[in-house]
């Protein structure tokens, strides 16, 4: 399981999402924390650790950190509300 990290600004956007969008994101993030490479798409071929999660209501830009043994994190950089 990967640990989830995000800034206060990202948290504010997440909290401000409409209920349906927030609930969809909450469920999807659990899958990302279990297997980020299966649950997300690569941002580009040259940067496989930069990932994008695209849902019905949101798009999330994140980075997968596979550091020293035992250090596995997902860092959310931004959440965009798609409507």
For 10-44, how does the pLDDT look when each residue is reduced to its tens digit (9 = 90+)? 999 999 999 999 999 999 999 999 999 999 999 88
Beta strands per DSSP E along the chain: 3-6, 41-44, 47-54, 58-66, 72-81
Question: Mean pLDDT across the stretch 52-66?
Answer: 96
Q: Which residues of 32-53 are buried (b: 16+ CB within 10 A; e: fewer)?
A: bbeebeebbeeeeeeeeeebeb
Question: Mean pLDDT across the stretch 43-63?
Answer: 91
The pLDDT of residue 8 is above 90 = yes
Distance CA 28, CA 50 (A): 17
Contact in structure between 59 and 80 (CB atoms under 8 Å):
yes
Split at pLDDT 50, 70, 90, the class of 71 is: confident
Task: Centre a 10 Å sphere on the Cβ of residue 20 and count the other Cβ atoms it contains.
Answer: 10
pTM for the full predicted model? 0.88
């Amino acid at each position: 399981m990967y640990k989830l990290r995000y800034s206060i600004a990202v948290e504010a956007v997440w909290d401000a999402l409409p209920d349906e969008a927030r609930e969809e994101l909450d469920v999807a993030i659990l899958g990302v924390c279990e297997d980020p490479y299966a649950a997300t798409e690569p941002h580009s071929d040259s940067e496989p650790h930069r990932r994008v999660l695209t849902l019905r209501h949101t798009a999330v830009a994140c980075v997968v950190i596979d550091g020293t043994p035992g250090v596995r994190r997902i860092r959310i950089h931004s959440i965009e509300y798609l409507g």
